[in-house]
Amino acid sequence: MEAEKIVTNPDWLTVAAIAIVTHSLTVSIHEAIGHGGACLVVGCAPRLVTTMQFKGDEDSLPRLAVDAISAGGSVANLIAAAIAILLIRRYRGPARTGWFFLWLFATVNLLAAAGYPLYSGLANIGDWANIVRGLKPSWLWHLLLAAIGAPSYWFATRWAMDRLGRRLSHRVSRVPEAYRYTLVSYLAMGALAIIGGMFESGGALLVLISAAAASLGGASALAWGPQLLQDPHLGEPPEEPLQVLRDARWMIAAALAGLAFVTVLGPGIRL
C-alpha cells in the first residue's frame, strides 16, 4: 500500500520543474528553430527572437517565403513531437521523470502544432492567420484552418491522455490522478509564459494575446484532457505506473531554463 501512495502522489515541485524545462524548450523550438530556421533557409536575416515573437528582414522576400517563415514554428513543433513520440515508443525501463518529460514534451509540442491553426482560424491572429491573410473569401480560409486545427487538437489530446492513462496506478480514479500531473504542469507553464512576457518589448497587449492565449489556451488540454479518462477503454493496456519523486536535478535545470527564458529570451535576443 505504501508503494501505491508513492506512485499516485507525484512530487509537484519536480512535475513543475519538468514543465518549466518543457515550456522553455517548446517556445525556443517554435520561435528560434522554427521561424528562425525557416528565415535562414529562405534567405532572410533574423533580427529578433523573444518568448512570443520572431522578426526577420522579410521586406524583399516573396510571399511564399514569408509564409514559409510563418509556418516554420508549427512545423518545428510537429517534428519535435514526432521525435519525442518515437523515443517514448522505444523507451525501456521504469517510468520515472525521464518518461514524464518525454510525454509532456511530446504533448505540449503536439498541442502547439495543432492549436495554432485552430487559434488563427477562430481569432484571426497568429502565424496561420498571416498565411491566409489576403486570400478570398476570408471566412472560408479561416473555417478551413479551424476545421484542420480542431480535430488535430482533439486527436493530440486523446493520444496524450491514452499514453498517460496507461501509466496511472489506480484504474478506478484515473482522472484525479492524471490531474496531479497535468494541472501542475499547466499552471507552471502558464506562469512562466506570463512572467517571461512581462519583459516583452511589445507591451501588455502582446502578453495578453501571445502569452496568455497561446500558452494557456494552446495547452488548455492539460486542464480538461484528464476528463477523457472517464472512458474505461482509453489508456489500455496498462503499463508500469509512472512515479515522479523529488529530483533536485530537474529543479536545477528548471531554475536555469526559467532564468534564461525570463531574463534573456523575455526581452529578446537581437541579431
CB within 8 A of 262, min separation 6: which ones?
A: 192, 195, 196, 199
Strand partners, 270: 48
Contact 149, 111 (CB under 8 A): no
Q: Please list, in sequence order, all residues whose beta carbon lies within 8 angstroms of the beta carbon of residue 156, skipping any fewer than 6 positions away.
A: 107, 110, 111, 113, 114, 221
- The pLDDT value given to residue 189: 94
Q: What's the pLDDT tens digit per position in 190-215?
A: 999 888 888 876 666 666 666 666 67
Which pLDDT value is given to residue 1?
34
pLDDT in the model for residue 206: 61
pLDDT (tens digit per residue) in 72-86: 999 999 999 999 999
Q: Can you give the pLDDT at residue 196?
A: 86
Q: Are 22 and 189 in contact (CB under 8 A)?
A: yes
> What confidence score (pLDDT) does residue 4 get?
42
The whole-number pLDDT of residue 198 equals: 80
Q: What is the pLDDT of residue 5?
A: 40
Q: Which residues of the chain have pLDDT under 70?
A: 1-8, 171-172, 201-214
The size of the chain, in residues, is 271
Cell 512581462 belongs to 198
